[in-house]
Structures are given as C-alpha cells and as structure tokens.
Amino acid sequence: MKTKRLVAFDTTLIDQTVRPQDDFFHFACGGWLKKNPVPESEASWGTFYKLRDQVLKQTKKILEDINAKKSVLSGSEASLIQVLYRSGMDIKRRNREGLTPIKETLEKIDSIATVSDVRDFLVQSEKDGSGILWSFFVAEDEKDSERYITYLAQGGLTLPERDFYLAKDARSQKIQVAYTKYIQKILQELGDTQTESKNAAKKILALETKIAKVSMDKVRRRDVENIYNKKTVSALTALAPKTNWKRYMKEIGLENVKSVVVMQPEFIKKVDLLIEQTPVETWKQYLRFSTLDDAAPYLTQTLSAINFNFFGRVIAGHQRPKPEWKRVLATINATIGYAVGKEYVKRYFSPQAKKKINELVDYLFIAYEHRIKEIDWMSPATKKKALIKLSQMERKLGYPDKWESYKGLRLSEKSPYFTNIVTSVKFEQKKLFKKLGKKVDRKEWFMPPQTVNAYYNANQNEIVFSAAILQPPFFYPELDDAVNFGAMGSVIGHEITHGFDDQGSKFDGKGNFKNWWTKQDKERFTKKANVLVKQFNQYKVGDLSVNGKLTLGENIADLGGLAIAYDAYMHYLKTHPSKTIKGYTPQQRFFMGLALFECAHARAEWARTLVLIDPHSPSITRVNGPMSNLQEFYDAFNVQKGDALYRPPHQRAKIW
C-alpha cells in the first residue's frame, strides 16, 4: 500500500536571529520576507498575494485557451470571455478609440444648464449602472433574511475614504495636493487649458471635501445598528425633498419598491441640499472629471498611466503598473467571473481537496461547540442560542452547486472595451433588481471560485471558502497536519468566529438582525471586546495608530479562530499522533502555520492607506496580537515575563 508523502513545514521561511518570544511574526516569516521583496507592480506582497498571483497565471492559461478557440457559439460564455479579453488586450485599438466610449456621456454633461439637469444626469448615470453621489442596490433584508430589500448607500468620493479629505497631517496634505494635480491632468485630457483645469480642480476638491464632511465614517458603517434605517419612499422624500425619489427609482427600474433601507440618512439629506447649493458649473466640472476618472483605466495608455501615477504611485506606492493581462483578467473576474470559474474548478480543484477540507471544517465545528459549552462568562440561556446558531451555520466549499447564469448578456467585438464593461455592469444591475419580491437564493455565492478568499455572510449564517484558497501553501492533503490546522484551520475558525464577533453576534442562526443575548451577557462580551480595542490602539504603522474599533471584528475573529483551531488540532492529535519535525513540536508547527498565512509586507504608502481604510490589522499585528493573548502559545514557545510578547494574564483578551 502506498503511503501518503508528508510535506513538512518549510524552515527556510524562518529567521533564526529573531526570538519567537519577542516577535513571532518576524521569527516565522523573516526568511520569507527577505527572499520575497515587494514586486515593483505591487503595493504589498506576501504568501497570500503570491498565491493570488499563481491563481492569476492559472486563470490566464484558461483565458488563452478559450481565446484560441476558432468557433464558439454566439452569446455563449466562451464568446463573452473572448470578446471581453480581446477588446481589453487590444491596446492599439483602445488608443485609436480615445474618448469615443464616453463621448455621449460627456455631451450630456456639456448640455447641463440647470440644477434639474444635474439631477437628471444622476438618474441616467445610475440607470447605466454607476451611481455617483449615492447608489441603490438590492440585497438580503438584514431583518428578514428570506427576503430581498432595496438599499441606498452614500457615494460621491474619489479618494478611498473621507479622512483623505479631512486629515491635516503632512502626508494627507501631500495626497490632497497630488490629487488636485491629478484632477487637472484628467480635465486637460478633456481639452481644458492649464488655467481652466487648475481653477476647476480647486472647486472639485472643495466640493468633494464637503461631501466627505457629511459622509459616515468606516467605524460607524461597520455597525448594522447605524446603517439599517428602513423608510418608505414617502419618508425618504420627506428626508431629502429636493430629489423626486419616486421618479428616480422608476427610471432606474425600482418603480414598485415601497420601502428602502437608507444606510446613511444624514448624508442623503445633506447632499440632496448640496446639489441645490452648489453652482451648476461646478457640478459639470465634477461630473466631467468623475466620468473620465472612472473610465481612464479602460481607455487609452495615456489615460491609464495618468490614473496609475496617482492611485498606483501616490496612494499605494507602486513603482510600475501591473501588466495589462492582469488588469484585463481582474475585469473579467469582476464582471463574468463565474464563466471562467467553471473551467478553473475542472482544472485545479480536486475531489480529494474538497473531502479533506470538509473533514477539517468538521473538527473546527466540534471544537467551537465544545468551547461555547465551556466558556465561563456566558449564561446558559445565551449559550443555548449560541449553540443553535452554530448548528445552523452552513458551509460552502470550493465552488457553487448552482452556477451564475449570463443568459441574455450580449457583448460585441465591434464595441470598445469600456462599452462592453458598462454593458456587463448594467446586465448585473438589472439581474440584481429582478430579485426583489423573490425568496432569497441561499445557494448563491458572492465570489467566483478563482478568487483567493473566504468570507462569513451574516445574512445567511454561512462560511464560504473558494477553490483557489484551498491549495498550497495554506492547504493540501499531503501537508503536515499541524500546518493545515494552523493555516487553513485558523482561517476556518476565523470565519466561524465572525458569526460571533461584535457585529456578527447581532444576527441569529437564520441570518436575521435580532438580539439573542441577555443584557448581562452582552455587557460582558463588550467589556471583553474592549480589551482588544485598547490593545490594538497601541500598535503603530509609521505615525499612525491602528484603529482598534475599525479592526475589532477582524481582531476578534483572528483571536477566536486561532484558539478554536488549536483546540481542534489537539482533538485531532488524539487519534492522529504526530512527532517533532525538524526540531519543532506539533504545537509549535501549528503556530508557524498561522504565521505562514500572514507572511506579508507592504510599501509605506500602502501600509498607511490600509490603516485608514482596512478593517483588518497589519500582518505583524495579526500574528503577534493573537499570540500574545493565548496561553497555549506561551506554553509552546516557553514565553516568560520579560519577553516582548509577554502579557500578564489579567491583561490578556479572551472571548471565545
């Protein structure tokens, strides 16, 4: 009988000059980081990003094979892929077409003469699949997970987040100056003189700054209690009476909607007034800029370069753009990704991998159930409901049972690349709006299988793992099980814990926003969570502090996921004993597996941007933070008082 070949942990990833008790991240990842500098075309790089790059190359091969087919049925998924791929990769044609794909839109903007015309343009823009100042979308009702409902969300900003406009520190002011110059260059491509573009850029920045001031920040947007504001269309009209919402919604295909969840009511109210208070000429300049800014990456090389030089270089720190094939592939994945995903699964996802990941998930659920039963701060009444929620949590692994359909989507080889993208976006919007009045499809996925990612969906109480993430270096059947549990096991535990983090815990087992906690238990939970907030507020990235409130959900999931995965691995070892390999015990290799998943570094510009916009903490804190709170880590590496990662027991966070 052939025995399985064990793939042991790669010790070349380690930096032996660093003590694990002082900085586990650089101990476990230092070797990898030294050998893998951030590529010029990337803002950050790590084991996760390297896997994404590998998947992109796998997907590229699929696209090239489909593109090489001589005859495909018109309207078939293969033909859609061919059209989008060819129109995207034909740079010479894109250069020849210039601004032609947005000519009609620009002419409409030029014809604007009144505030009423501005509002008409906003309607038309949303009808074309791109809301500007705000946008409507359809999703599961957070208070009735069996039904779909319409949501209205804030928009209007070009920079990544409101703080980019409002912060007064030196770095933020440099970005604001660079942004003004970017606006000027975009407007000059539309024919404005240097003086005209300079004056317009100042007005556009001032307008967006006003929009930023009334925008809800990311911390408040995390909390469903802040953003679930269900209103009738009449109440929405009373809130923002200058907009004819009934007409607006009818025009974009939502004529039968009776109620809307207004996610940021104060924003809608104030921007509705801002439309009236701002000169029409300023709106025209803003809309001209916004139109070309959106389209720039998909038009000419010159426009793409202008866009990259600001967003790529200034915001993210890239030294050069990604190759065109990667950018085109990203567009295909975002628009018709499931058409590619079917072939990806056939080629790269094995039944053995699905079987193994299912077994791993089983161990994690068993460990979580045991942990809930054993925690000492939760009352029996709340424990009972927590266990019910856990038992109702669904898993989706690898790929969907039912594939997304693109029936009815028509793309043309005669159409420009950007036009085909807009056609795809409009198709998806119409399909989304048609869900209203129907029962929620619980088989639906929200990422194609070639996406390297995993997520927890609170509205469906489910964990979802794509085929692309379930492969080396994080998971494969032949890998040392200590590393499988440490890397992928921790990610599984992380996603399960999202169902019990500061926001996921507000949803019940059926996915409804409904309280199932006693008042005392919720207070105890909040007190424990605040320990993590204070801890992470102490971590620094350059001159910025990590935002403990913004990152709280992810930090709870990181800590809970690691603790539960460790419990699951200890349970597994009872029937699958392991031994010391290359000088490291099974317990030590488990923790090294977690670090393997988080090995990453970023350019200074991007690291700073992430602190402002990303609900995830930086990689180093996602390793050292949870480790410093877990007694099992102390035991595995003999962490003592005086070591840099040591925290006194009373200062450690422990929730799940």
Query: At 532, which CATH number?
Result: 3.40.390.10
Q: Is it the case that residue 232 has pLDDT exceeding 50?
A: yes
Distance CA 558, CA 70 (A): 49
Residue matched to tokens 């399985």: 4
Are 294 and 125 in contact by the 8 Å Cβ rule? The answer is no
Would you tell me how many other CB atoms lie within 10 Å of the CB of residue 354? 17
Tokens of 500: 């019990």
Question: Where does residue 410 rank: exposed (0-12), middle (13-18), buried (19+ CB within 10 A)?
Answer: middle
Q: Within a domain: residue 408? A: no
Residues paired with 26 in a beta bridge: none
Is 264 found in the same domain as 388?
A: no
From 248, 276, 298, give the residue that closes a domain: 298
Q: What is the pLDDT of the chain when averaged over all its residues?
A: 96
Look at residue 5 in the predicted model and tell me its pLDDT: 46
Q: What is the pLDDT confidence band of residue 11, given thresholds at 50, 70 and 90?
A: confident
Does residue 433 lie in a domain region?
no
Q: What is the pLDDT of residue 7?
A: 55
Co-location of 28 and 141 in the same domain = no
Q: Give me 368's structure tokens.
A: 């979580």
Q: Does some domain include residue 574?
A: yes
Report the alpha-carbon distance of residue 633 to residue 314 in Å, rounded. 39
Residue 426 DSSP SS3: helix
The percent of residues above 90 in pLDDT, for the chain, comes to 94
* 552-573 and 519-537 helices, crossing angle to 10°: 100
| Mean pLDDT on 142-156 | 97
pLDDT given at position 478: 80
| Residue 4: predicted pLDDT | 46
CA distances from 477 to 7, 324, 352, 353, 356 (A): 9, 35, 7, 6, 6
pLDDT tens digits, one per residue of 554-603? 999 999 999 999 999 999 999 999 999 999 999 999 999 999 999 999 99
Instruction: Give residue 1's pLDDT.
Output: 33
Cα separation, 613 vs 599, whole angstroms: 20
Distance CA 419, CA 337 (A): 18
pLDDT at residue 3, as a whole number: 38
The verdict on residue 213 lying in a domain is yes
Cα–Cα distance, 50 to 36 (Å, whole number): 9
The pLDDT of 175-193, averaged and rounded, is 98
Residues 524 and 609 in one domain: yes
Dihedral of CA atoms 386, 388, 391, 396 in degrees, nearest 10, equals -70
For residue 309, give the nearest of 318, 301, 300 by alpha carbon.
Answer: 318
Local confidence band at 519 (pLDDT 50, 70, 90 cut-offs):
very high
What is the count of structural domains for the chain? 2
Q: Note whether 265 and 229 are within 8 A (CB).
A: yes
Asked if the structure places residue 178 within a domain, the reply is yes
Residues 24 and 591 sit within 8 Å (Cβ to Cβ) = yes
Tallying the residues shown for the chain, one arrives at 656
In the 3-class helix/strand/coil scheme, how is 594-654 assigned residue by residue?
HHHHHCEEECHHHHHHHHHHCCCCCHHHHHHHHHHHCHHHHHHHCCCCCCCCCCCHHHCCC
State mean pLDDT over 473-477. Answer: 86
Band the pLDDT of 75: cuts 50, 70, 90. Answer: confident
pLDDT at 580: 93
Last residue of a domain, one of 246, 263, 298: 298
- Looking at the DSSP bridge assignments, the partners of residue 601 are 45
515 plus 635 within the same structural domain: yes
Q: Is 415 exposed, middle or buried (0-12, 13-18, 19+ CB in 10 A)?
A: middle
Q: Does 24 share its domain with 172?
A: no
The percentage of residues in the chain with a pLDDT greater than 70, rounded to a whole number, is: 99
Q: Are residues 281 and 200 in the same domain?
A: yes
For residues 40 and 139, what is the distance between their CA atoms, to the nearest angstrom?
38
At residue 97, the pLDDT reads 98
120 and 246 both lie in a single domain? yes
Query: 453 in a domain, yes or no?
Result: no
Could you give the C-alpha distances from 325 to 61, 91, 450, 467, 482, in angstroms and in order? 11, 11, 16, 22, 37
Distance (Å) of CA 549 to CA 100, 220, 530, 628: 45, 9, 9, 19
Does the residue 467 lie in any domain? Answer: no
* Spatial CB neighbours of 116, under 8 Å, sequence gap ≥ 6: none
Whether residue 159 sits in one domain with residue 20: no
380 and 292 housed in the same domain: no
Position 394, amino acid: E
- The pLDDT, as a whole number, for residue 2 is 38
The CATH number for 226's domain is 1.10.1380.10
Same domain, 248 and 387: no
- 220 in Cβ contact with 502 (< 8 Å): no
**Angstrom distance (rounded) from CA 50 to CA 24:** 21
Q: Does residue 617 surpass a pLDDT of 60?
A: yes
Q: How far apart are CA 384 and CA 435, in angstroms?
A: 34
β-pairing verdict for 394-398 and 462-466: parallel
What kind and span of H or E run contains 152?
strand 144-154
| Cross-strand pairs, 299 | none
Q: Which domain holds residue 140?
A: 113-298
Q: Has residue 420 been placed in a domain?
A: no
| Cα distance between residue 94 and residue 253, in whole Å | 32
pLDDT tens digits, one per residue of 396-447: 999 999 999 999 999 999 999 999 999 999 999 999 999 998 999 999 999 9
Q: Where are the alpha helices (DSSP H) in 36-140?
A: 47-67, 77-89, 91-97, 103-110, 115-127
Q: Find, among 206, 184, 422, 388, the residue nearest to 294 by Cα.
A: 422
Q: Whole-model pTM?
A: 0.95
Please give the backbone phi and psi of residue 348, each rounded to the nearest 5 degrees, phi first: -125, 0
pLDDT in tens, 31-62: 999 999 999 999 999 999 999 999 999 999 99
Looking at residue 10, its pLDDT comes to 81
Domain boundary among 249, 282, 298: 298
